[in-house]
Amino acid sequence: MATAHGELQGKVALITGAGSGIGRASAVLFAEHGAAVGVLSRTEAEVRDAVEEIQGKGGRALPLLADVSDSAAMAAAVDRLAREYGRLDIVFANAGINGVWAPIDQLEPQEWDRTIAINLRGTYLTIHHTVPHLRKAGGGCVLVTASINGTRTFTTGGATAYSATKAAQVAMARMLALELARDRIRVNAICPGWIETEIDDNTQPRNAGKADYPAEYPAGEVPLTDGKPGGSFDVAELALFLASDRAKHITGTPVWIDGGESQLV
Ligand code: NAD
């Protein structure tokens, strides 16, 4: 049985978007629980920093630089991780951007394409390139970071491309849970509400207010915390649970983690 502090002992995990926010918190937590972690992002400085943090705490981590929407780069990164640690058990397709939030007639085709490429094609490529390794390990676990947007709430003005990718990610997780069950690969989706991370740096609102249907919640939009956002480690704890053997009978399930935010609408 796994010990309380070694839930992922002997496992190898790939986490995309692990340079900051939810991915980084999960990389640190997974490593603390014994996993060797492939820390993948497209920004060298943040990957290096995250790996140093993990190694500084006595954990095992490998820096991997790749854009998740680039098939060749993802294939090379996955190959490197599998060669370095000899196996792959856990895949966390987490990298994502908010992208441009704009009224639909003002959202340019290349802006639409970029959000779809990173959030949706990136999720596909992450899973596509890793499933053979999970199969080889005799089974494993895939986690996808979706959102409350597009799955329970449809109120973020202008975030149509983003929400469409998040809805599609949940559809993918449910489809693949069935497809990969015979390989003993579990697939689940994590759907966060408002979490304090660096994602605002990847958000470009442009007249988004014009696409908004105004609604006010004077007491704040996160009932459990009097309006304050959740933290990356709140989401990392859920990821750890879903990746561990404690969740061995859970697959094809979106789990919302939002302090009650998505109950408001
Ligand atoms: P973040 O910006 O702090 O982290 C995102 C990470 O992904 C960064 O390391 C970034 O460099 C990386 N990344 C971005 N594009 C990439 C690409 N093309 N290739 C490789 N790496 C790339 O944001 P976060 O909030 O931690 O976001 C993680 C996931 O959580 C995203 O999928 C996001 O949609 C989802 N999410 C976040 C919130 C929130 O409120 N923060 C809510 C719901 C869902």
Rounded to the nearest whole angstrom, what is the distance from the C-alpha of residue 16 to the centroid of ligand 1? 9
Strands 99-101 and 185-192: unpaired
CA-46 nearest atom, ligand 1: 9
Tokens 């991370």 map to which residue? Answer: 197
Give the three-state DSSP class for 114. Answer: helix
Atom 19 of ligand 1, nearest CA residue: 67
Pocket test for ligand 1, best of 64, 129, 197 (most atoms within 8 A of CB): 197
Domain ranges of the chain: 12-260
Give the tens place of pLDDT for each residue, 152-200. Answer: 999 999 999 999 999 999 999 999 999 999 999 999 999 999 999 998 8
In this structure, what token pair is assigned to residue 221? 């939009």
Contact present, 80 and 52 (Cβ < 8 Å): no
Is 85 among the catalytic positions? Answer: no
Given the residues 85, 124, 162, 213, select the one marked as catalytic: 162
Inter-axis angle of helices 122-136 and 160-179, nearest 10: 20
Query: What is the chain's mean pLDDT, rounded?
Result: 96
Ligand 1 centre to CA of 182 (Å) is: 31
Give the residue whose CA is nearest to atom 10 of ligand 1: 17
Q: What confidence tier does 3 reach under pLDDT thresholds 50, 70, 90?
A: very low
Query: Of the residues 24, 28, 37, 41, which should be mutated to test ligand 1's pocket, given the most ligand atoms within 8 Å of the CB?
Result: 41
The percent of residues in the chain predicted with pLDDT above 90, rounded, is 96
Q: Which fold has domain 12-260?
A: Rossmann fold (3.40.50)
Q: Which atom of ligand 1 is nearest to the CA of 148?
A: 43
CB–CB of 234/257 below 8 Å?
yes
Q: In 106-182, where does DSSP find H-type helix? A: 109-115, 122-136, 160-179
| Better-predicted residue by pLDDT, 3 or 219 | 219
Q: What percentage of the chain exceeds 70 in pLDDT?
A: 98
CA distances from 200 to 96, 101, 144, 166, 212 (A): 12, 12, 20, 17, 18
Q: According to the model, what pLDDT value does residue 1 have?
A: 41
Q: Is 186 helix (H, G, I), strand (E, B) or coil?
A: strand
Q: What is the pLDDT of residue 202?
A: 84
Instruction: Give me the pLDDT at residue 56, please.
Output: 98
pLDDT at 254 over 70: yes
Q: Which residues line ligand 1 (CB under 6 A)?
A: 16-17, 19-23, 41-43, 46, 67-69, 94-97, 118, 122, 145, 147, 192, 194-195, 197-199, 202
Q: How confident is the model at residue 2 (pLDDT cuts 50, 70, 90)?
A: very low
- Which stretch of 1-15, 57-71, 83-97, 116-130 has the lowest confidence by average pLDDT? 1-15
